[in-house]
Homo-oligomer: A and B are copies of this chain.
Amino acid sequence: MVKFIFVRHGITIDNENMRLSGFIDSKLSDIGKEQVKKTCNRLKYEGIDYIYSSPLTRAVETAREIADFKNVEIKICQNFREMNFGDFEGLTFKEIQDKYKDEFNKLKKDAFKYKFPNGENMIEFHHRISSQLDDIIKKHDNETVLIVSHSGVIRSSLSHLLSKDHIYHWNFKIDNCSITIVEVMDNFAVINTLNNIEHLR
């Protein structure tokens, strides 16, 4: 059995301004830093053997605080980087809709097959997440692995663990500094808790 604890990074200035941030870097806001402290405190209840983190600053800042609190090493994992939104990085949905009307309509039409200009599509994205998760499952039997990452990555992980497919990507809400716990045994996943943010109240 592998126990996954997924933590989304604390809120960033881009998140606060509703700007799409995938591959681009951004830092935690002051509220984000507070969220991370509260998340550490909630994690005192959890045993953690390994921490994997996305390489993006907002995730590493979050993971570093947890790692220090729990005295666990961080493994930086390129595959857990957020989706690459290409030319749309840093824009709001309103700006995309105004500046790239045709592209926005294509995105609305098929969110899974749509490839962001100079970025990824959902299926490519899902493939890098799911292959990384399958690697961890093989490598960490009987261990608890905490993954600090992004909303898209966590949604994609849940869809994969549940169905081996990307189709449930949009069926889960993942808030900043939420905790989601999934146990995987004999290739079967049980979601113990999802998008838990009570510790942020």
Contacts and interface: CB of A to CB of B under 8 A. Distances in A.
Interface string A159-201: 0001000001011110000000000000011111111111100
Contact of A192 (B168, B170, B173, B198): B173
Contacts of A162: 168, 171
A189 B194 CA distance: 14
Given A198-B196, A198-B199, A190 B170 contact: yes
Contacts of A194: 191, 193-195
Nearest to A173: B192
B193 A171 contact: no
Contacts of A197: 193
A28 to B, nearest CB: 23
A159 to B, nearest CB: 10
Nearest to A195: B193
Contacts of A192: 173, 195
B195 A171 contact: no
Given A162-B171, A194-B195, 6 more contacts: A171-B191, A172-B190, A191-B194, A193-B194, A193-B196, A198-B198
Interface of A: 162, 168, 170-173, 188-199
Q: Which 6 A-B pairs have the closest CB atoms?
A: A198-B198, A194-B194, A173-B192, A193-B195, A172-B191, A173-B190
